[in-house]
Chains A and B, each alone.
Chain A
Amino acid sequence: MTPRNPLPAWRRYPLLYASLWRNSVVREMQFKTNFLLWIVVELLWFGLQLAFMSVVYAHTESIAGWTRWQVVLLVGCSHFVQQVFTAFFFTNLTEISEHIRTGRMDFFLLLPVNTRFLISFRKVDLGAFINAATAAGVIVFALRRLGQVPSFAESLGFAAMCFAGLVIHYSLMFLFATVAFWTVRAQGIVWGYYNLFNIARVPDGAFPPGMFRRVFTYVLPMILVANVPARVLLGTLRSPWELLLLAGIAGACFVVSELAWRLSLRHYAGASS
């Protein structure tokens, strides 16, 4: 039976997403203390990263050409992209292997919506928005200490590059999560991805040319995701190609993750069989 008056997709999906948001808010507000404590945990870890850099700069003037406040801005950018990613996607992606193990994936596949949309956007982590805001605060503070005011074009470029970084994080982790269709127990792989975040806050110039640098620039572009947005704001971009590179890799990662997703679905035989 076809539903009466099916809404067009451009109206159906925003409505659907709005109700997913409502669910998330209700869920989070059930455990208010826990919600606040998680924000404290994230703040502590962000503080730890900043503390590390400030200890290092107590012993040096610059690292690979980056001054103290430039690196603070870089750490801020890394945390900002990571927290926005956490807000929209992280919980959802860690749950994919659980969906497969428990058979809930079969149920999602039967719903009359795009399954990738549903499993990617199901839950929203509200605390992460607050953490993203603190990261933005640190970025603004660092800019003021540097006495720099980014132009409108630079701010726009920054936003675009953060979006590209978000797409990269999302696509790569989604790609890793779909491995669960083959091994079921992919939790470890997903958590391993968390380690990758850590190198995003290291100034790009610190990585000498070689395998490590190439892999983490072109294959898993962790060196780019925070460094490029930071350089846009600082006006230290070495060539406009860096922007195109990050945007291009973001697009490529998304396409690869979509192809892997389709392949996984074709391979998937359901939970009970």
Chain B
Amino acid sequence: MGKYLHVLNIGIQNTLVYRTNFLFRAAAGLIPLTGTLYLWKSVYAGQSGSEMVGGYTLIQMISYYLVVTLVDACTAVAEDDWQIAADIKDGNISQFLLKPIDYLAYRLCLYASGRAIYTTVALVPVALFIFSLRNYFAMPSDAATLGLFLVSTLLAGLLQFFIAYVMALLAFWVLDVSTFIFIQFAFEYIASGHLFPIDILPRWLALAVQFTPYPYLLHFPVSVYLGRITGPRMWQGFAVQAAWVLLGYGLARFVWARGVRRYSAVGG
């Protein structure tokens, strides 16, 4: 255990170097978000009679995007997948095969420390942004909701990590994984609810998406936060989310084992 705490520490030190970069990235991300929010505001402004669009009030819709931004800051993989793929391609994983350190645990520590620093830095511009929109920002209904939201965000982070990890392990089989990662990310972007809440999709499509792990990355935690999913349906959601995390973990172990069997270190 001690050695992984050490890895966490190294991860924090390494990512602290990029704090200005993170600050800039977080702030730049608010520009397209502002565009999207203005777009939705004019959709609501053009609505005659009804105040709802797809079952969302304007406040819920804007809060949805703001909470997505928060969850995304906490969970999005930044460089992790590229680094894992590069480690495999350049033969750096050889040292992990020889040492009593588990590569998955090692990467998870680096991911966790990277996210901790990024979230801390990003919180400055994001909090200012949310404050400027405070009239449109819904707070969680009670402390229990907030707690459940944090738990589902944590699970979402694990799931996000395992998806990125498995995608990066493709580097055992293909030379350049970047296109695969981008294609996967395009699906994730729409099916996780990053682009818009999935429940405003046509019913059959929204239902189909529910069978993929993606909604549990963003849509589910945000729905818990907004209180749009409660009671037995929420507990069921937690169970499915946990199941996806376990499945992701199993797949990560399995693909790694298969990959290592194929692996011949560069120069080795």
Q: Which of A40, A59, A199 contacts B34 (CB 8 A)?
A: A199
How distant is the Cα of A196 from the Cα of B34 in the complex, in angstroms? 11
A205 on interface, CB distance cutoff 8 Å:
yes
Select from chain B the residue with minimum beta-carbon distance to A39: B179
Q: Mark B90-119, 1 if CB is under 8 A from A, else 0.
A: 000000000000000000000000000000
* A208 and B29 contact, CB distance less than 8 A: no
Instruction: Sample 14 A-B pairs with CB under 8 A, ordered by A number.
Output: A51-B190, A56-B39, A56-B43, A63-B46, A64-B46, A188-B25, A192-B24, A192-B25, A195-B29, A195-B32, A196-B28, A196-B32, A199-B32, A202-B36
- Interface contact A40-B179, CB-CB below 8 Å: yes
The answer, among A34, A45, A188, for a CB contact under 8 Å with B186, is A45
B51 CB within 8 Å of chain A: no
State which of B194-202, B213-221, B228-236, B252-260 sits at the interface with chain A.
Answer: B194-202
Contact indicator B35/A63 (Cβ below 8 Å): no
Taking CB atoms, residues of chain A closer than 8 Å to B176 are: 31, 34
| Most chain A beta carbons < 10 A, residue from B21, B24, B35, B47 | B35
Known: A34-B179, A55-B201. 4 other contacts (CB 8 A): A31-B176, A58-B202, A63-B46, A64-B46
The docked-state distance in angstroms from the alpha carbon of A185 to that of B43 is 40
B196 in contact with A205 (CB, 8 Å):
no
Chain A residues with CB under 8 Å of B54's CB are 59
Q: Total interface residues on B, using CB and 8 Å?
A: 34
* Interface members, chain B 47-64 (any A CB < 8 Å): 47, 53-54
A198 contacts which chain B residues (CB < 8 A)?
Answer: 31-32, 35
CB neighbours of A64 from chain B (8 A): 42, 46
- For the residues of A in contact with B, the DSSP-based class is helix
Docked pose: A32 CA to B202 CA in angstroms: 37
Query: Which residues on A sit within 8 Å (CB–CB) of B47?
Result: 60
Q: B41, B183, B186, B201: which contacts A206 (Cβ < 8 A)?
A: B41
- Which residues of chain B are near A51, meaning CB under 8 Å? 190, 195
Question: Cβ of A45: which chain B residues have Cβ within 8 Å of it?
Answer: 186
Which 4 pairs show the lowest CB-CB distances between chains A and B? A198-B32, A199-B35, A192-B28, A37-B179
The verdict on B131 contacting chain A, using a C-beta distance below 8 Å, is no
Whether a CB of chain B sits under 8 angstroms from the CB of A146 is no
Which A8-54 residues sit within 8 Å CB-CB of chain B? 31, 34, 37-38, 40-41, 44-45, 48, 51-52
Whether A206 contacts B32 by the Cβ 8 Å rule is no
Q: Does A115 contact B (CB under 8 A)?
A: no
Select one of A44, A59, A206 contacting B38, CB under 8 A: A206
Residue among A40, A44, A205 having the largest count of chain B Cβ atoms under 10 Å: A44
In the complex, what distance in Å separates the CA atom of A114 from the CA atom of B8? 48
